[in-house]
């Protein structure tokens, strides 16, 4: 059984010797939660506190809804730091409700809902991952707000909370002081976004390096990447061709070239591809080239011309047109916004509500 006390904190002073700001974070977990939905955020905040570049220290409490250990979806058992009840204070700067199938109904969750309602006015941020959004919505906090929730739960969520606007296929969404993520790794993406805003880019990069996270994903990225879609193709002929295409983006990936490699006619290849992927080969190839280019823009100093050739666009003009179609912004603007998150235009779904 694992017990989570206060995490090992980093520097108690900033680079100028001033006391570091303490940010209290309460992570609420109930039985059935996936470990990554709460351990990922705990580790992210803990690593931020350890960073030599951080101006803050996060004090994280693991909060249960009842006495005794929390039993995760994998059977792991954890002892909480605090338990929801009259004696639990509501002075947390940031509250995060981790998702669990037990949160899809309000039964047995009234004490949690009541505590969230009491805590919301004094909290700077209220967050939820996966079905944690059901708690915030049950508390009436998300009415007429935009949220993200796991695609498997969208139908049930919309039926229960018709006043809430679900952003389709988004990793995480900010609407005012409310932040919602689809769960899993997206919860870590959300925490990285919070850490970057609290502590700055240097601390964010320290956390990403310590957690061996390849790149930060903006909230408006789809829940399933184009690369994963390509690897899920069931038709073996097309699957083998797409495996090759993913590692040869600068090659000729026209329909005729792909069909020839699959030993199929262009017409049969296009028909089979459309049946598998619900889009044309040309559109899908453009989407994976855009995704590859996006990663290079965010993680390398390669020029736009170099990237356009490396991923197969052939010229910056072709890449620009594809980026405008995908992100409503050209590559140079996308890179600038990725490097300056407070003005990031692709975070249109993170804008403050009026």
pLDDT single digits (tens) 296-315: 887 788 999 999 999 999 99
Is residue 3 scored above 60 in pLDDT? no
| Pairwise CA distance, residues 97 & 127, whole Å | 6
**Domain 2-210: CATH architecture, name and number where available:** 3-Layer(aba) Sandwich (3.40)
Which run of H or E residues covers position 97?
Answer: strand 94-97
pLDDT score recorded for residue 4: 45
Question: For residue 172, what are the β-bridge partners?
Answer: 181
**How far does CA 125 lie from the centroid of its chain?**
16
The phi and psi torsions of 76 (rounded to 5 degrees) equal: -65, 140
Is residue 350 scored above 60 in pLDDT? no
Which run of H or E residues covers position 241?
Answer: helix 236-246
The better pLDDT of the pair 35, 353 is held by 35
Query: How is domain 226-343 classified at the CATH fold level?
Result: Arc Repressor Mutant, subunit A (1.10.10)
Residues 29-52, mean pLDDT to the nearest whole number = 90
DSSP 8-state assignment for residue 77 = E
Using DSSP's 3-state secondary structure scheme, residue 13 falls into strand
DSSP 8-state assignment for residue 7 = P
pLDDT single digits (tens) 94-123: 999 998 877 765 566 888 999 999 999 999
340 exposure class (CB count in 10 Å sphere: 0-12, 13-18, 19+):
exposed
CA dihedral sign, ordered 58, 83, 177, 182: positive
Q: How confident is the model at residue 241 (pLDDT cuts 50, 70, 90)?
A: confident
pLDDT score recorded for residue 7: 43
End-to-end CA distance of the chain: 45
Question: Domain map of the chain by residue range?
Answer: 2-210, 226-343
Q: Check if the beta carbon of residue 290 is closer than 8 Å to that of residue 326.
A: yes
Single pTM value for the model = 0.63
């Amino acid at each position: 059984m694992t017990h989570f006390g206060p995490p090992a904190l980093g520097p108690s002073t900033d680079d100028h010797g001033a006391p570091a700001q303490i940010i209290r974070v309460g992570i609420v977990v109930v039985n059935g939660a996936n470990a990554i939905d709460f351990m990922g955020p705990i580790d992210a905040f803990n690593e931020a506190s350890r960073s030599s570049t951080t101006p803050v220290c996060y004090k994280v409490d693991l909060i249960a809804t009842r006495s005794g250990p929390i039993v995760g979806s994998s059977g792991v058992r954890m002892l909480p730091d605090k338990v929801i009840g009259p004696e639990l204070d509501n002075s947390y700067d940031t509250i995060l409700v981790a998702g669990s199938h037990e949160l899809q109904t309000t039964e047995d969750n009234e004490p949690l809902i009541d505590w969230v309602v009491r805590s919301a006015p004094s909290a700077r941020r209220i967050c939820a991952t996966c079905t944690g959004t059901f708690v915030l919505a049950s508390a009436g906090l998300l009415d007429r707000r935009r949220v993200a929730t796991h695609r498997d739960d969208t139908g049930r969520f919309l039926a229960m909370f018709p006043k809430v606007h679900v952003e389709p296929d988004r990793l995480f969404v900010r609407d005012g002081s409310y932040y919602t993520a689809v769960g899993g790794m997206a919860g870590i993406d959300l925490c990285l976004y919070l850490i970057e805003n609290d502590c700055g880019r240097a601390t964010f990069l320290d956390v990403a390096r310590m957690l061996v996270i390849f790149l930060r994903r903006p909230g408006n990225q789809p829940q399933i990447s184009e690369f994963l879609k390509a690897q899920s193709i069931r038709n073996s002929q097309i699957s083998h061709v797409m495996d090759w295409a993913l590692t040869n983006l600068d090659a000729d990936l026209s329909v005729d070239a792909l069909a020839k490699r699959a030993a199929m006619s262009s017409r049969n290849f296009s028909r089979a591809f459309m049946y598998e992927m619900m889009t044309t080969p040309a559109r899908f190839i453009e989407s994976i080239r855009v995704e590859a280019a996006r990663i290079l823009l965010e993680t390398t100093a390669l020029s736009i011309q170099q990237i356009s050739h490396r991923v197969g666009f052939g010229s910056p003009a072709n890449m620009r047109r594809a980026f405008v179609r995908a992100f409503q912004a050209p590559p140079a603007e996308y890179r600038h916004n990725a490097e300056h998150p407070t003005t990031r235009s692709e975070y249109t779904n993170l804008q403050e509500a009026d």
